[in-house]
Amino acid sequence: MRNRYLDLLRFLAIIRVVVYHVTGWASLTLVFPAMAVMFALAGSLMAASLDRSGPAALLRRLRRLLPSLWVVAVVLVPAMLMTGLPLGPKVLLWLFPVADPPANHWGALALSPIWYLRDYLWFLLASPVALWLFRRAPVATLALPYALLLVIELGLLPAAPVPLREFGVYFGAWLLGFAHHDGLLRRLTNRVLLPTALALAGAGAAWIVTHPGPRGFDLNDIDLGNALWSAAFILVLLGRAPATAHWIERSPVFSRAVTVLNRRALTVYLWHMSFVVLLTPLVDVVGWSHEDPLGLAIRVVLVFALVGVVTLLVGWVEDVAARRRPELVPGGRRAARPARAVGATAAALPPRAVVRCPGDGDDRQEPAGPVRPVAARRGVPVPLNSAPVAADRGVPAVPVRPAPAGPRTPARPVRTLGVPAGPVGTVGRPASGPGGKRRERSTVGVAGRAVVPAPRVAELATVEINAG
């Protein structure tokens, strides 16, 4: 089960990115700093992946990130080579863009969003060490990118390389994602969180007003103001995130749109700017200037329509990269799989168990698998003859009954563990963050202890790339 609140944030970020690139409205960067929000979500999900898989998470993230980029390169790089791009070794950067890959005059604009993937790759590679440092000195580690950016902005570090500057601008948001995953933001009281957010927003606004860029108050041109303003935004968005966003499901159409845009976020991000460039000549032919609201609205609709077409054609690559069943339009209903027998208690177990990584808002359904101990509040067993184990709202829980008197031999050997009275985390601590409730099913085994099949933790299914 996915956390729909985080899905909603990605949905809004993608919409904001496309509309901004069509209209050029600088105010949109202030109203919703989508880039920093997306880096924060990516940082939270990366921390969850590292907790589950260790350094192997890097390879899995790369596997999901790069194939969609390669599809773009297969189409557009030959077109650029035929229109003036010289062939050289740097063209290989389109395979792994740790630096800006080469482009010709029109490709430089159409493929300008590639910078986000460049920064994402650097942050991804730095995450194992950064997470280790963050958990030993969270405040100092979190302050480091902002201090670095301040040094650069004050001219104390002239000619700073681009990756170093980008670490100053956006890596702080990535680290705030770490804090979200670990539940640190939710534990901040309003007396701490709100004044901190106001102070950051005030400092950011003061820098923005006194250091306007060539496009006015566009955050993309004001690095320090961007970092501070975005940090305040993220503190509120993630620090006071609602536990659930089930209201999204009340509208099937809107819910499906959120799902589709999340599953195709990378495709939309990589292709939309090409269509913005393609439609630019219409400004001269039809007279649709940026001051014409109707013309801008038509251009926005046309860009989304063209992106929809290319998404139908190549969006399934994201499914293949994520090892999902390819779909033209994601989010369709899928038949439930039958339950697999697990000893004598299989009939009492649900076909799928809900697993959740604490704090990061990553709710997924995973098939029930071999029993693995799940630690939460140690030393707090479920008392016999107590109330049922906590379940999702509206879903009746299975009561825990004392074991019958006398010896009992199960049909197959089963492993037992005490079930805590509250939510269970998968990494040795209580679940926190949005969507903390989960369904727990249990039967009673030997000596009156609850027998619970612990879930397997699989690869994160959430797509986190999407910004502009």
With cut-offs at 50, 70 and 90, classify the pLDDT of residue 143.
very high
For the whole model, what pTM was predicted? 0.72
Give the burial class of 456: count Cβ atoms within 10 A of its Cβ; 0-12 exposed, 13-18 middle, 19 or more buried: middle
Residue 156 has pLDDT above 80, yes or no: yes
The residues that bridge with 366 in the sheet, in sequence order, are 353
Q: What is the pLDDT of residues 178-235, one digit of tens each?
A: 999 999 999 999 999 999 999 999 999 999 999 999 999 999 999 999 999 999 999 9
Going by C-alpha positions, the residue among 103, 64, 112, 98 that lies closest to residue 461 is 64
Going by C-alpha positions, the residue among 11, 8, 434, 34 that lies closest to residue 248 is 8
| Longest CA–CA separation in the chain, Å | 88
Q: What is the pLDDT of residues 372-423, one digit of tens each?
A: 333 333 333 333 333 333 333 333 434 444 445 544 444 444 443 343 433 3
DSSP assignment, residue 395? S
**pLDDT value, residue 294:** 85
* Counts of helices then strands in the chain (DSSP H, E): 16, 4
Average pLDDT (5-34) is 96
Q: Which two tokens stand for residue 353?
A: 């168990």
**pLDDT value, residue 333:** 67
